[in-house]
Amino acid sequence: MTHAHDRALPRAVRQAMPMARDVLEEVAKLHGVCIRPIPLRRLDTVTGTSEIIDVPCGSTLDSKCPPCAKRNRQLRMAQCREGWHLDTEPAITPDEASEEQRRLVEFRADMQAKRDAAEQAGDGATDLDAVLASLDEEINAAGMRGSVTGSAVPKRTRSTRRRQDAPDLPKRKMAATTLGRTFTGSDGKVYRPSLFVTLTLPSYGKVRDGAPVDPNTYDYRRAARDALHFSKLVDRFVQNLRRVAGYDVQYFAAPQRSGCAHLPARDQGR
């Protein structure tokens, strides 16, 4: 058996041998294992010991990590297949309460009764209030929504005020549906149209091979600002789109970065 470090072998023979690193990556690709894992330190807060673990890079580019890119592509396909082609309104039914959830609610009711009795007797209820607050956190952490006392949770509010220089949107009555229009062909087959839209921000300067050609003129400040607020821009676009359409438009999108932030989106029923 020839050895790669055997200097007696001709150089051409040694160079013809495959690189161990290349073979490792090839085997990883065959088994769907990430070839660019990210090492992270995991700390056990109880024992104080730590260890280094490798997590997948999660890349969406096949040129960087084919296994992760394939996994992400399959995930997006499954999400699109299961959510995009719905022809009926999604019905979400809450899960049945578990024994642990029932136990927490019952214990919370007992503590509330003790707290009310202490208040009526004129005793201090500060300690019991702290216990109830802790139980409320445990109830939410156990997978339950809302509050057992029915107290109103502050509603999230979003400003819908438009800029003064923006044109007015058509005012349409909103319909309580997420399904768009359908058309029936002469053969009786039902078609549901869709519209493909790409939202792209303006360029910040000429880029070559992922780097600015002229760093002195490249608008780094605007690029950083847009990266921070891009999600808000998308959210506002969807709000306006639904106002114009008159119903909660379903859309499927995957944010991407290619020189500047852009979002390919597909709107159903448009």
pLDDT digit string, tens, across residues 206-239: 888 778 889 899 999 998 898 888 888 888 888 8
Per DSSP, the three-state class of 237 is helix
Q: What CA–CA distance (Å, rounded) separates 42 from 51?
A: 5
pLDDT digit string, tens, across residues 157-172: 666 666 677 777 777 8
pLDDT digit string, tens, across residues 133-147: 888 888 888 888 878
Both structure tokens of 63? 């040129």
- Above pLDDT 70, what percent of the chain? 85
Q: What CA–CA distance (Å, rounded) separates 254 from 249?
A: 16
pLDDT of residue 34: 92
pLDDT confidence bin for 194, thresholds 50/70/90: confident
- Given a cut of 80, whether residue 70 has pLDDT beyond it is yes
Cα angle 97, 102, 106; round to 5 = 155
| Mean pLDDT score across all residues of the chain | 81
pLDDT of residue 221: 92
Query: Residue 62 is which amino acid?
Result: D
Range in 35-39, 55-59, 128-132, 266-270 the model is least confident about: 266-270
- Given a cut of 80, whether residue 73 has pLDDT beyond it is yes
DSSP-assigned states of every residue in 124-162: --HHHHHHHHHHHHHHHHTT--S-TT-PPPPPP----PP
Yes or no: say if 231 and 242 are a contact pair by the CB < 8 Å rule. no
pLDDT of residue 122: 81
pTM of the full structure: 0.52
